[in-house]
Structure 1
């Protein structure tokens, strides 16, 4: 097979690109190193439609006058005159035609050429021709028939040729007629039966004939189709007949013979064929479906040496269906309380199941009471969003969801209104006095409270009775009262947050009877527990009480678990007790003390709370790392986790770069982690700790973040010149120095006559030399940055100097 030699001929235009409509453009072919006499054929292509400007002749020039704007391809085919090959050389050039006037001089190659007889205006496409072609292409009723001469008898030919110009060349191998001229039903049936017996193939061939006829109607000078139709395409394999939006359609064309063919692919849009892929030897098309409906593809095939537009074709259909519509079925808040300054978490559920295969993206906006909105998470696959709201108030969260392959801005959206409180609701858990009622006058009574909630608590104690007292709101949760007069009293406690504007948020009261002073009151000075407040079942706990007052003290201990009585000891002189928790739960130990002569149940009492667990949870106290101003790539960074009960605590480390997890260890007793960063960014080390007996994911979690840079910043960039001032026609050189950075690159700009121009793009070359040809003021700007930094520059320096004659 003869290959087309495209490197030996060149297309030259007498005008520069682009040119305006109706401009005469001369086209010339330049052949180098070719001694044989050549014939040239000129063609013009636009939008996949090719027209002949000038058929094969000895002239290597022609004239082209475009009537429409657009992007054209000029193709020249050349063949050696004395040889029988259809084509020996080929060249293509693109040319743009625009609206408006463009004035440009003629190129030198064309100034001496006055042989206008060699130019042709055959390629001028008129508006009438263009409109006629559009009518043919948009015709929906097959009103044109293309017949092979071999299929038409002489009598039929005479009948068909009635009313047609008698001077027409009757030796042509094909004929184009309309159904309006004569009833062709019988001829059509015979031709179809002779060509194909299969109805479906006949339909394809009819469409192919119509396509070829339309092209011939546009330009009668296009190479005619072969005398006999040769089928090339054996079959077309489609991976799927039905696909979803976003999927790729894979079309493979199989040829009958094992030769190399050229394949061209079209797609039908709005009843018009558009080229997807120009002719090449690749017989596979991969096309992504972006819209639902039916996609119709046209496949054209021809031989490498064929001069026809195509030798065979097929039309295939692929149905494209919409993906399952994404809908939000639930949007919920996962945080137990919505408090400003604390992390809030929201989650969204959709109707798409995880095994569906669709990738769903979520985007979240936060909308404040005044209507201002801010994006707190752009589209990602994370259906949960966490953020911290610094201010209290009523907000709305808007969630947009869409499939990753959706063409819409969003497929569904939902809004959830929520209210952020400035702090947790205030609640007084306990309000007690260190002494029980009654007490004697001049006895100091200390009141304590246990309050949960709020941020900045204020306490107010108010005593009502014979002598009243009012502390006003203070930050102290302890009140010392020393009654001077006997009587019945009520002590009130009021609590509120500093931000609260009302009178109070919670209150409690204790009734007290004060009698005349008698003996020294009994006080509990201290309660000592030999364990932490978190204890392990099966281990013995010792509780010891220190008290004073009275004439002789008796002690009693009552132990409860989850509100149920477990153990109670009778009054005795023993001020301690041992007990062993056998179950997990909250234990309350009440300590009662009284004088041995007292008839009361107790003179004073106290409560302590212990939590019995199967194990002590692993708690992270500190995460230690070496302090450095800058962490660089390649630096070894060691982290160490400090926790109590070290031998029973397991640690797991997870390393993240810019929020993406890159490494995660298993739980182990290793308390150290060594990281050598290989890329720059924000490194976050998350540490999870748990007891070896823990069945949960972890007991506690902490994290630490640091930033790793590619290199230290480039600093102290300076320009050093070889002269203080330059002279015309003498070399002027500079050298640039800087500190820091990694693989530092430099870029130079030179200002000459008030105009900046780049004289050296970024490279590791740190010097520059030039010869000034005119005197005046000059300026050199040197930009410096590390090679891997994706920035315009990190540092720069300027040098001003004068050039004299």
Structure 2
């Protein structure tokens, strides 16, 4: 019955003489023939015999309750009809109050795509059931079957003129529906989202270092845009490094070197599309910074005598775990093999001209070397009291600010009368030079930022050589001193509870010029980000349980970088105490067949406790109510016997089967018995009767 959905241009009731258009809204099949019949007080009249017409006009001449019948059949069908629908339609004022739906009310008439639509139905009666349809591709699609809720919420997903149809019926009605109405609304599109730029913010991409990527997009004002970042390696393996979030900047640490690409998917929060735009960036991750030999020197200069030990020194940048190889070629060859030390003690045993080769590589490199340098050295038989640099003393750190002075002092020994020279280079270009003199110190004032190389030369006054001993130091000069976080201190606790304040104290260097930014993540979601501030203390009071990750970024107030340094602290915040003492209450203490029984569950502890109910009848357990916040269950025993009710309880946020449970037995008898609730030993228990509620305080029983 009611296999065809019928609509009217005028809703029931109407006055006699009204022109009422009857049309087919939905049909079970295409290419059907339709017959329209109207009945009043037992007499029937055919308005339109079988035809392909899907809309007719009916003009009733009498008041009363009419039955409108539409029959449909296939063109070659031998049956009288294949489908039929019947509806009641009222003509006249005496039945005006029988109209069920008073009106349909939308939150607004025009929506942006993706917005929530709110519909409310007002009726003339209580105890009404509601059913909702949405028009899609000229057909009515069931959105929500009969329920007691007079409100309907959905997301609008298609642009254009749309409609919602509502059917209502009394709760005791046997009809398909007693009343029907529809309402129209409009859905408009939004400006298209477009990704303008997707870039990497790192100048150096190496493993186990933070790689930072940023996306820029153009979109309509006041829209919430979500971004998803997916990393793909050369073999096609995919890893989501950030699911849809409002964060435009994503960072992660790569552990394996190689070629990668990151796919960024962007979408409007309310967009029905999987994504509205996308962009991809290709990049290479190196295992470490390129190995480069900055200097290769010896502690004493050439020439030297056989009796003198010579320390070969290398200053190298890059790599992770460097290995050094020193090969001495001349009168007597030597090969150190690859060693960890950047210094090598050479003890020449024969006089002659030598060529010393330095090879450097990272331990993980399979090549023979990654960088090399060559140094010439002369060994003779003459005895000399060699000149040797013992120590180079700086009165400040090697990290300087522009126009800040540092005193460089040289402690040397040997020779008769020593002379000192200082040469300053930057990017292999000579910037300053102090010629040989008796002063063993110099003040160096850098006038620009960069990495400076200061070569110290020492020679005997009577020596004909360019120098008898030399050494090189490296001084980094900055427009500002990069920030450095030493420690993050907090109260030593094994765990925190919700509401207990977490206090962080950050210990830094160069405090007066340093700014800090604090980023709080809860369970992987960023919830708070401060501006750069001077405060060294950060406080947070947890409002939910989970993993709290507090990232602290530091930078000098003059820095133009996103940050100079970072550290992070992880704190686990626990929720409420575990659930205990789960118990069941019953609304009665006498149980008869065909009479409803309600049991209610209560627990101590937990948070947002949910319950699941099982019922045992005929010696079989059945799940009767899945986990929900509904803490009661109603059932009707249809025959006498023993019934068991089991309730499982847990906090809603916990991913476990249950935390606590309770089981009771109920004995249903054919005649009233005052005490018929049994405990484990089948003894009658009636501990407390209060306001027709019996608290069942049983010992928990096994299933």
Q: 1:693 to 1:45 in 2, by over 3 A?
A: same
Query: Displacement, 1:417?
Result: 5.1
CA distance, structure 2, for counterparts of residue 401 and residue 333 of structure 1: 17
Per-residue CA deviations over 1:728-774 (Å, capped at 9, x if unaligned) read: xxxxxxxxxx99989999999999998668999999x9xxxxxxxxx
Confirm or deny that 1:245 pairs with 2:113.
Answer: yes
Query: Displacement, 1:330?
Result: 5.9
Q: 1:755 to 1:331 in 2, by over 3 A?
A: same
Q: 1:674 to 1:518 in 2, by over 3 A?
A: same
Equivalent residues in 2 for 1:280-359, closer than 5 Å? 288-295=155-162, 318=186, 320=187, 332-348=199-215, 353-355=218-220, 359=224
Confirm or deny that 1:225 pairs with 2:95.
Answer: no
Q: 1:569 aligns to what SS in structure 2?
A: strand
Q: 1:653 aligns to what SS in structure 2?
A: strand
Q: 1:485 to 1:245 in 2, by over 3 A?
A: same
The answer as to whether partners of 1:633 and 1:680 remain within 8 angstroms in 2 is: yes
Which of 442, 450, 458 is the matching residue for 2:323? 458
Which of 515, 521, 541 is the matching residue for 1:676? 541
Per-residue CA deviations over 1:764-804 (Å, capped at 9, x if unaligned) read: x9xxxxxxxxxxxxx99998867985644458999xx9969
Partner of 1:520: 385
CA distance, structure 1, for counterparts of residue 517 and residue 358 of structure 2: 46
Which of 434, 444, 449 is the matching residue for 2:314? 449
Query: Displacement, 1:556?
Result: 2.2
Partner of 1:639: 504
Which of 613, 616, 620 is the matching residue for 2:481? 616
The answer as to whether partners of 1:136 and 1:214 remain within 8 angstroms in 2 is: no
CA distance, structure 1, for counterparts of residue 2 and residue 27 of structure 2: 19
The answer as to whether partners of 1:395 and 1:417 remain within 8 angstroms in 2 is: yes
CA distance, structure 2, for counterparts of residue 240 and residue 714 of structure 1: 45
Query: Displacement, 1:396?
Result: 4.7
Query: Displacement, 1:431?
Result: 1.5
Per-residue CA deviations over 1:649-704 (Å, capped at 9, x if unaligned) read: 44443433224444555655543334433321112222233445556665432221
Which of 442, 464, 469 is the matching residue for 1:577? 442
Partner of 1:429: 294
Partner of 1:90: none
Q: 1:222 aligns to what SS in structure 2?
A: strand
CA distance, structure 2, for counterparts of residue 625 and residue 415 of structure 1: 41
Partner of 1:529: 394
The answer as to whether partners of 1:710 and 1:789 remain within 8 angstroms in 2 is: no
Q: 1:505 to 1:741 in 2, by over 3 A?
A: same
The answer as to whether partners of 1:48 and 1:275 remain within 8 angstroms in 2 is: no
Equivalent residues in 2 for 1:491-570, closer than 5 Å? 491-560=356-425, 567-570=432-435
CA distance, structure 2, for counterparts of residue 669 and residue 220 of structure 1: 77
Per-residue CA deviations over 1:492-511 (Å, capped at 9, x if unaligned) read: 01122222223222221111
CA distance, structure 2, for counterparts of residue 442 and residue 208 of structure 1: 129
CA distance, structure 2, for counterparts of residue 587 and residue 135 of structure 1: 86
The answer as to whether partners of 2:354 and 2:377 remain within 8 angstroms in 1 is: yes
CA distance, structure 2, for counterparts of residue 321 and residue 414 of structure 1: 26
Per-residue CA deviations over 1:299-333 (Å, capped at 9, x if unaligned) read: 999xxxxxxx9999998674x56556666666554
Instruction: State the superposition RMSD in angstroms.
Output: 5.9
Confirm or deny that 1:653 pairs with 2:518.
Answer: yes
Where structure 2 has 5 or more consecutive residues not aligned to the other structure, the ranges are: 8-22, 72-84, 122-129, 169-176, 584-602, 632-643, 664-678, 684-703
The answer as to whether partners of 1:176 and 1:213 remain within 8 angstroms in 2 is: no
CA distance, structure 1, for counterparts of residue 622 and residue 341 of structure 2: 72
Kindly indicate which of the two structures has a greater share of residues assigned to helix. Answer: 1
Q: 1:499 aligns to what SS in structure 2?
A: coil
Query: Displacement, 1:419?
Result: 4.2
Per-residue CA deviations over 1:545-582 (Å, capped at 9, x if unaligned) read: 10011111111223456666554334222212234445
Q: TM-score, normalised by structure 1?
A: 0.57
Kindly indicate which of the two structures has a greater share of residues assigned to strand. Answer: 2
CA distance, structure 2, for counterparts of residue 740 and residue 236 of structure 1: 44
The answer as to whether partners of 1:137 and 1:214 remain within 8 angstroms in 2 is: no
* Count of residue correspondences: 580
Q: 1:740 to 1:270 in 2, by over 3 A?
A: closer
CA distance, structure 1, for counterparts of residue 109 and residue 648 of structure 2: 58
Partner of 2:257: 392
The answer as to whether partners of 1:133 and 1:217 remain within 8 angstroms in 2 is: no
The answer as to whether partners of 1:615 and 1:691 remain within 8 angstroms in 2 is: yes
CA distance, structure 1, for counterparts of residue 617 and residue 111 of structure 2: 62
CA distance, structure 2, for counterparts of residue 804 and residue 644 of structure 1: 74
Q: 1:544 aligns to what SS in structure 2?
A: strand
Partner of 2:687: none
Q: 1:497 to 1:287 in 2, by over 3 A?
A: closer
CA distance, structure 2, for counterparts of residue 519 and residue 530 of structure 1: 33
Q: 1:215 to 1:382 in 2, by over 3 A?
A: farther
Per-residue CA deviations over 1:604-663 (Å, capped at 9, x if unaligned) read: 222223233454333211111232222222334332221233344444434332244445
CA distance, structure 2, for counterparts of residue 687 and residue 242 of structure 1: 45
The answer as to whether partners of 2:47 and 2:58 remain within 8 angstroms in 1 is: no
CA distance, structure 1, for counterparts of residue 574 and residue 107 of structure 2: 48
Return the index of the structure with the highest Cα Rg.
1
Equivalent residues in 2 for 1:95-244, closer than 5 Å? 176=47, 215=68, 217=70, 222-226=88-92
Q: 1:698 to 1:590 in 2, by over 3 A?
A: same
CA distance, structure 2, for counterparts of residue 410 and residue 521 of structure 1: 74
The answer as to whether partners of 1:488 and 1:512 remain within 8 angstroms in 2 is: yes
Partner of 1:774: none
The answer as to whether partners of 1:49 and 1:215 remain within 8 angstroms in 2 is: no
Q: 1:451 to 1:599 in 2, by over 3 A?
A: same
Q: 1:418 to 1:754 in 2, by over 3 A?
A: farther
CA distance, structure 2, for counterparts of residue 793 and residue 547 of structure 1: 77
Q: TM-score, normalised by structure 2?
A: 0.64
The answer as to whether partners of 2:26 and 2:140 remain within 8 angstroms in 1 is: no
Which of 617, 628, 636 is the matching residue for 2:493? 628
